[in-house]
Amino acid sequence: MTTSQNVIPMDKLWQDVGIEKAADDPALMIDVAGFEGPLDLLLHLARSQKVDLSRISVLALAEQYLLFVESARRVRIELAADYLVMAAWLAYLKSRLLIPKQAKDDDGPSGEEMAATLAFRLKRLEAMRDAASRLVNRNRLGRDIFSRGAPEHIPHRSQSAFDASLYDLLSAYANLRQRTAVTQVTIERRKVWSLVDARELLTRMLGEIGDWTALQHYLLPYLAPEDRVTATASAFAASLELVREGRLEIRQDGAFQPIYLRKGEGRPVVPSAASIAEGSR
């Protein structure tokens, strides 16, 4: 791992942006805020290919996305981890698409299959989006159609003379418990990679990779140097947890060698006497 000497902490960079940086840098701003996550961004990029989603060039799409992340990094914009993981995944996908097809002896999905999965997800997201806009444009109660303005009675189903919804109940309970909980919580400064984040992201990525993969290899280039340590640590800790649950398998060929991951068989390693013996198959 290379450690660059001239790294300025993120915080400082951010503070500087407004003041002196504005002069020398073109001060580009990347408006990631307008997007609902990486899949949304991909969908947006895909639309700009102006083809039907099922005929899209996934490779070109991956290129565009990676380029976007590159530009973001160039202007030192901190992207949410979600975006970086997608970048890593796409880089992996790209490599799978570009290497000559291997004999069908590996058990993971081929690059083509992964590409199809991506296209499917984009198409599904777009379909939901269309559905949402059709829904919201229907004749809606209180906007286009109206109920009786001066009702004369309220029909109630059965005996109960009281009204309360499950939502009322749950929010009352949540508020109460929250109120009475001892709240001397010190809020930790949010790290880029919490254990929970790492876990979430690993799960999402590995869902579609069946083969042994050195994820770090794809992921690290997209992380700011000062985040690499925390990312590596969190991802490693999270992966151990996932291994224990049987959702992940892990392999390392030797000390300091790359760590390979792949999706587990899904059988949790239950810490009961019977399965401990069986677990080490």
Partner 1 sequence: MSGSNEHLIENDDDIVSEPLTLTEACRIAEALVFASAEPVPESFLAERLPLGSDIPAIMAALAELYAPRGVNLIRTGDRWAFRTAADLSFVIRKEEGEVKKLSRAALEVLAIIAYHQPVTRAEIEEIRGVQTSRGTLDVLMEAGWVRFRGRRRSPGRPVTLGTTPDFLDHFGLEELRDLPGLEELKAAGLLSGRIPSGFSIPIPIGADELSEEEDPITQLDLEELGLLAPSGGDEE
CA distances (Å), 28 to each of 73, 83, 221, in order?
Answer: 11, 18, 21
CA angle 44, 68, 224 (to 5 degrees): 135
Contact between 190 and partner 1 by CB under 8 A: the answer reads: no
CA distances (Å), 228 to each of 3, 4, 157, 201, 232, in order?
Answer: 10, 12, 60, 15, 6
CB-nearer residue toward partner 1: 156 or 251: 156
Contact between 153 and partner 1 by CB under 8 A: the answer reads: yes
Residue 211's CB is within 10 A of a number of other CB atoms, namely 16
Hey, which residues between 58 and 77 contact partner 1 (CB under 8 A)?
Answer: 58-60, 63-64, 67-68, 71
Q: What are φ and ψ of residue 126, in 5° steps? A: -65, -40
CB-nearer residue toward partner 1: 1 or 135: 135
Contact between 252 and partner 1 by CB under 8 A: the answer reads: no
CA distances (Å), 220 to each of 50, 229, 249, in order?
Answer: 32, 10, 20
Options 157-165, 210-218, 228-236, 251-259: segment touching partner 1 (CB under 8 A): 157-165
Contact between 188 and partner 1 by CB under 8 A: the answer reads: no
Which of 166, 255, 273, 277 touches partner 1 (CB under 8 A)?
A: 166
Q: How far is the C-alpha of 215 from the C-alpha of 252, rounded, in Å? A: 12
Contact between 241 and partner 1 by CB under 8 A: the answer reads: no
Residue 237's CB is within 10 A of a number of other CB atoms, namely 14
What is the smallest separation between the CB atom of 110 and partner 1, expressed in angstroms? 10
Contact between 132 and partner 1 by CB under 8 A: the answer reads: yes
What is the smallest separation between the CB atom of 48 and partner 1, expressed in angstroms? 6
Contact between 112 and partner 1 by CB under 8 A: the answer reads: yes
What is the smallest separation between the CB atom of 30 and partner 1, expressed in angstroms? 6
Hey, which residues between 91 and 110 contact partner 1 (CB under 8 A)?
Answer: 97-98
